[in-house]
Structures are given as structure tokens and as C-alpha cells.
Structure 1
Amino acid sequence: MPNENLLSPQPTGDSIGHRAPVALLGFRPGPGGIPRVMLDLIDGFQRWHVPVELLLPAGDYPDFTRLASGKPPCFPLSNGKPERAHQEIQSYLAQRQPAAILSNKERTSALLADLREQGVELPATWLRIGSDLREKIRRQRFWRRAGYRASLHRAYLAADGLIANSAGVAESIESLLSRTPAARKPPLRVIANPLNLTRVQALSKEPAPHPWLADAGAPVIIGMGRLVAVKDFQTLIRAFARLRQHRRARLILFGEGRQRSMLERLIRRLGLSEDIALPGFIANPFAALSRAALFVLSSRYEGSPNVLIEALACATPCVATDCRSGPRDILEQGRLGPLVPVGHVDALASAMARTLDAPLPADTLLHAARRFDLDTSVTAYLEALGLRPENADRPE
């Protein structure tokens, strides 16, 4: 029997009405696009009067001050031994009886699969997958790939449904399950990451977060993300160096990570210290994007890069690598911005120059961002979870 004491102390936060909640597992805190997506999703559910509750390790909470709907109730979920986490989930289910579960992390999805195999009755349980599995498997060490693939396969087949945040991610899921009989496969839906466009417009008007964005000097190009290998800022810096040979421009890379020192050495070696800035993490990316002449995504792989959607919502012209996966979907096969081969310095420099010379109209980019509107994505999530919006009160 689950130990009810594992739920002590009682959660803090405000529940909405008397409807059964949606339980969210594995929604991580911290800076970056994914936590912003998760907070927008929570706000969106609660705008539809669907209460949300979180199961997270103690203290491992998002920045709830960003939520317009207030802090949701939070329950403990151990980061340690699986046995304890199993008990915590069972205690939560017995006490709160959620209408549905949405898991966003491989660990929590594996825990739910464990419980299903143990015969524990779960409500409608859906998994959100936000990365291209082909790339994730390929980047495992050779001797770990088979085991990792098997663990994903097991978790996915134990779920009632799967949500991919882009067509490319959906393709990678279908590839993983390709040898599974159709009758055993859970339903798979593609639902774009939500974006609160009203909030983006408000935040984009806040003061410029860097002096280069406030002056009328050379056009400013922005890259944004963790300073890690997968973002491939080396290629962006080298492409900018080619561009800088022919025109005035500046490059700001917002973000932090373990490649900072290496990137700073590359910038010095190329003689670009006066033209490239690495100011670190930025809490409000929209105030920067809205003032940039160009946003560039140079990643080696993605799931559905939120920052590319955010750039469109700020009417910022974009260039992106044609990586797995997301950029091709978001930029509509290149109609909304050039797509270039991964790691190709000359192609990236050329695309940057062309886009600076002939940017798409702001209205075109803003219109394209509307398909990522918060209510559109939230409605699709509610339908997938069996909480059909027509049975819910519409948000005001």
C-alpha cells in the first residue's frame, strides 16, 4: 500500500474549482525555452478552468511568479530510488484522483511504465516528447544505444498516447515503433509548443537588454541558447566572420554553458572581440529579438526550437540550419527564412547576407506565428487528454 505520509507536507498553491486536476510530471525549472513553454501550458490549462498539479522533486520548481493563474499545487516526487517515487505517485493518485497525467521527462515516463506493469490503475496517461529520438539515440555511446532504445520503446508502449512537438519528432517516434504491431501502438499527435503571443508583445517593449540593441549602429544579429556543442555556435561565429569581411554587423550570443571559454578563444583568434558579445543568460529574450535585424539558429539538432517561434512572434527575420527537427516545420520549408545545411559555414554566411538585404515583411512573420498561439495548442492538449474543450468553460 502507498505510504500516505509521503505526501506530507500538504502542497501549496491554489486549485481551480472542483474539477479533477491534470497531473504534470517532469516539467523542469530553470532558464530557457522549455520552462517558458511549460509555464505557458500551465497558464493555458488554467485559463480553460482545468486545474493543474505538479509532481516534482522538493524545491525543484519553475519560476511560478511568471504564471498569471497563480502557483499550482505541488507534490513531492523523489529524484532518488524508483521505489520511493512509485510510492509517491501512488499516494498522489489515491488522494487527488487526477483526470489525466502528462509526463515530460524520460525518467517520469519510465516510472509510469513501471506502475502500469505492476498493475496500478492510472488515469489517461500521455507522454510529451520534445526531441528527435534518432539524434538522441545516435548520440548515446555505442554500447548504450540498444538499451536506451529499449527503455524508450517500453515507456511509449505503456502510455495511452504520445505528443510530439513537431512533425520531425513524430517521424522519429514512428521510426522507433516501426516494428510494433499497429494494434499495440498508442495514438500519436503532433501539437506545437504553445506561445502566449499577448505576453510576447508586452515583453518585447521592455528596455533593450544590451547597448548594441539600443543604438542606431551596425545591424545586430542574435543567436540564443545554451553554449553547448549541439547549438554549434562555432559555425555561427565563423559564418559571421565571413559576413563581417563584406559588411558592418554585430553578433550577440545570449546564453550560458560549458563552451563559453572555447567560444571566447575562437572570437579572439578571429579578431572579432569588438563585434561579438557573449553577455550570458537573458531573462526576457523578446526585448532582444524584437530589436534584432536577424535571428540565426545554428543547431546540429533540435526538437522544435522555441526560440525560432519566439523570433517569428517578434517579427524578427530568421535563418536556420535544416537540422532534425523543427526548423523546417516552423519556417514552412524555407518560406519564412532560409534553411541551410548543418555545419556549413559558407551557406550560413550567404543566407545571413541575403536575409539582411531582403528581410521578409514583419506582417508575414507575425501572421506565421499565430499558428503557435497558446489557446490553439492548449485546446489540442485537452482534446488529447480526453478533456474536450467543448465540455469545459471557455476562457474569458
Structure 2
Amino acid sequence: MVSKYRKQFNQEFSQEKYEQFKEILKQKSGVETSFRISESPMFLSNKFKDKLIDASESIIDQIKALSPETLQKAIPENCKVPNDTNQPHFFTIDFGICKSENGEIEPQLIELQAFPSLYAFQKIFEDTFCEVYPFLNELKNKMPHEEFRNYVKDLIVGNENPENVILLEIFPEKQKTLIDFVLTEKLLGIKTVCLTKLKKEGRKLFYENEGKLVEIKRIYNRVIFDELDRIPDLKTEFDFREDVDVTWVTHPNWFFKISKFLLPMLKHQFVPKSYFLHEFPENENLENFVLKPLFSFAGSGVNLDPTKEITDAIEDKENYILQRKVTYAPLFEDINGEFSKAEIRLLYIWRENDERPILLENLGRMTKAAMVNVDFNKKDAIWIGSSNAFFVEE
């Protein structure tokens, strides 16, 4: 796609520049990236971007039209957290980059979440591409860094002192997204705190900083609540289901409410047909669908080739969906003349008093494997892993 920029990038690319790119990211954060960084950005047309925005705006409209009662049904009873909010603080939406039957490049919805992604990292990531390949500066996101920071600070820190705001994760030092936590700390002046380190007194939460207890007023939540049950012998003073005097950014209930649970309800030409497993019609062919658990992360539990035996054996069918398969188009040519496929995630924020979310950044994932998640790639392939999209005139 967009051959002028692809040609220039491939001509300028070298392994030395790739190593330099990773070294700059390490210098800016102080840590290694623990997920694979693609050697290349994605070049996409503004025409394709218009299709992305059209689909996203339609999906936002449809979500806003759903009743609170419908959304509440998405939350498992054992995962309900008090003091829910009217809307989430984050909205991310993933599209596969596909080709239609008539050869048009088009997006196809893969997933959507009201859960934070790599907001701080992705901004630095884009900047670093532009440092190593200066010709990319003309394609850069037009939002100045200070404006980006103000948006994120207003959302996460609000009117509080950054000392009273934390990024909450479980064993953050072991998470693949550690680099984003570190860059968020640098961006906002907040601390990352492990769930096991929280102290609770009455309805108030505290963390220890330089030997003193500091009250927590706002929590930038990065814990996937339903995964806590899978950690053996986890000891914490605080349970998410307790009523505490904090503001959640974003409230944990929204992880469930905006999720695969919504896919069967959404309609658009760029939204593949989806069904809850227990509602799958007899006239549809199982071979044309992907089986996905409602609540899983990073591609876990996804079955690309479900059979009747597999679906019949599932007891909690209401917790699974079947989503019509889409064909990712191999569009992104590497220096060896081979092609990668990709998907793109749009990173929105949704401020408390805003009618609609605001698009801040994008995140790309490139692959040569059957699944786009970076864990599924071969170790010796190139043009795979985490990336960034630049939009250009064709």
C-alpha cells in the first residue's frame, strides 16, 4: 500500500537502524521492550483511514444507544465492582486490514475494549520512528506532544496531585507492557503500584512511598480483574468488589461491558457477523467462523477452526461467540519481497463530560502467522510485531 513511502522506507532500512531504533526506546524508558517491535511502520491511505473512522463512529453511536441494563448483563456476577460510571475513560477498537471481494482494501472489526492500551508507549514509538527515519516526520500525527500529554493527564490525573494517583497492576515488573507503565510514570509523574502492595483503612486505600503511607484518590487501572482468580495463593488487603473511596480510570465493569459481548449486537459493512454460541443458527456453516471466549486477553482461547464436537462440549455457551472469519490481506512488503498482514487498533480516550471519545493515537500489529497476536510469530521472520500506522495521500 502507498508504494512511494514503502519504497523509500525499504531503501533506507538496515539492521543497524533497527537496533538503533530499539536502543532509543530503551534509553527513553530505561527498560527493554518485552514484546517484539516490528522493523517497519505501516503505510495506509487516508481513504482507508476514512473507512476506519466511519466504522468507529457508527460503532460508538450503536454503543451509546444501548441501555445500561443491556450493558450490565455483560458483567459476571462475581466480577461486579461498586460505583459504576456512565461511560468508560478508554475506548480501543481493533480492525483487521483486509481485502473485499472486489479488491478494495477495507477494515474488518476484530475486537473492541474499554480498557487502556499502550497510550504512553505508542506516542514515543511514533516519535522514535521519525527520529530514525526523518522523512516520516511529514506523515506524523499532527497532535503536538504537549497537547497529547494534557489530554492524558486531564483524563488520568484529573484535578488531583499526581502523588495521589497510581497506575495499578498485578506484579507490574513481570508484565510485557512494563515499558508503557514506565513511560506513563514519566509522562504524568504518577507511581506504578502492585495490587498486593495496597493498604486499606476503612473505605480508603493507601500505598507506601519512601516510607510513608499516601492516600490513593484515583486509580489508573491496568489489572484485568477476572484474571486474578488464576493466580495461586494471591494475598491482597483489597478486593475489587469492596466499596472504596477512589475514582477508577476506567471503572473495572467497563472491561466486560465493552468487549466481545457486544459483537453480536453491532451492524456495519465493516463488522463481521457474530453470534453467541448458544444462539448460532443452524443455517450457518461453522467452518466460516472463529470461536472466541468472551473474556480472554491477547488471543488466548481463540479457535480458528472450531468443530461441532468442540462447540458441543462447551458447557457455558453464553460465554463464547462465533465471529465470521475475515481474510487479512498480505499488503506490507518487506526487504525480501515477502508480505506481512496486519491489524490496527485505534486508541480513543473518553473524558467524563464528553459526548464522544477522542482519537489520540493508533497501534499496529504485523504478522506472517495465522494469528496477529505477536506471540504467534516465527522467531526468524521480519516485519512482524508491534508497529505504528502512518496515513498518507495515495
TM-score, length-scaled by structure 2: 0.26
TM-score, length-scaled by structure 1: 0.26
Q: Which has the higher contact order (CA 8 A, sep 6+)?
A: 2
